[in-house]
Chains A and B, each alone.
Chain A
Amino acid sequence: MSMVVVRLVLSRIAIAILTLGFVSVAVFVGTEILPGDVAEAILGQGATPEAVAGLRAALHLDQPAHIRYFLWLGGLLSGDPGRSLVNNLPVAELIASRLPNSLMLAAVTAVVCVPIALTLGILSAVWRGSLFDRAANFLTTSIVAVPEFLIATLAVIVFAVRLRWFPALSYAAGIISLDQFFRLFALPVFTLSCVLTAWMMRMTRAAMIDTLRSSYVEMAVLKGARPMRVVLTHALPNTIGPIANAVALSLSYLLGGAIIVEIVFNYPGLARLLVDAVSTRDMPLVQACVMIFCSAYLYLLMLADIAGILSNPRLRHR
């Protein structure tokens, strides 16, 4: 790798870290505009002024905002984002109990989606304008345009209510057999996969079409290479960068989509923890969960850009 590439990648990482800093300020300011006093809210109306003052000091609420921001950021970075306002459990513990479930859901969905989406995307690029391409285009446009809970509810009605193949809810508690594992994950993964596949397929198709329009592909076609060979040996190697970019970008959809899916199927993941925290206004928990989601999002965007940089042959062979 040349110095240029190293410098580009390093500066992309630096931008990601700076952006994450901005996001942390935005999240902190956003959650601090809460009208009213947290200490009073916790202790209720009957609290003595001394008790409120004591709790304010314990929560550092008597400090100015910028000091509190750095205290909070330091806590996050050292793995101690404080305690929940609702049940006084450490936020880190609450998150640790949910994060593996969410990662599991995301991993299973990614493993299912990536091969399907890439195959379909490449095929519809190769056969662009065909009936298959137009049908796929209509289907993906529609899936992307409807709310996730419509897909989830239709999936439940078809697979759980009518066909009785899978349970409508999923509980990932205790030791479960492989068969149970499959049955529990089937519907949440199906719902997420529909949307994720649609996004990924559209982006893959666009990336592939871009390459297929290039002059060296035209050259390969003109010299008489068979269509399959043109796609696999001439076009595909040069599309890996853009496709990796598309995969990383569409995986970032999982973060938002998981929120609805975890609620519909009562899945004990991080997103449901966040939604519960928002409805009970449990600020330390909201802040920590949102920071995890935003970091994951920025990380995926960064990977997408780095894939783009690394795959650019003009930079690689300088």
Chain B
Amino acid sequence: MATIITTMKLLKFTRIVALLFIFHTVFSLFLIVSPTFNAGLLTSVYRKYLLPGPFFTKDRIEQSYSMLVSCKVGNTWLPVSQPALENYHRLMATGNPKAMLQTRLDRYFYYQYLIAKHKNPDVQINMEFEQMLNYYQNYFPVGTDSVKLIFVKKGTSDLAITVDTLYTIKHGVD
């Protein structure tokens, strides 16, 4: 008798879990086919933690931003370099995962600056700029007294490529 009761309880429990599972699957499918549906915290949590993706969204693949760096050592401006792109190329040439993380970190710092500048276009030197400059010190050769930073936006849409220089900033280095 006790075995039957235990089996019945297990069956009931299995059915409840199966129902929750079916609900999860159906709700996830609903969220996928209704990308604009928003019901507050539940949908936010679902989309962020239980439905990772989509990863190649339109805004991510149609534009990218670059930062070119030129350093002034003595009285000479050195040729421009792109640390983030160089690290990306190093990743593609060697497959070294450290270069993958490095290029992402390089980009993170200047993207933070671009976001802050976009929010407040009148302020050129802000906290994000100082932080970015501090981070990029490692890429500046010894004796650098000034740097020129050129921010470029590259867009691709309708089978055409556009390149725009957004800002050029000259700044002294401590």
Whether both chains belong to one complex is answered with no
Question: A interface vs B, CB < 8 Å?
Answer: none
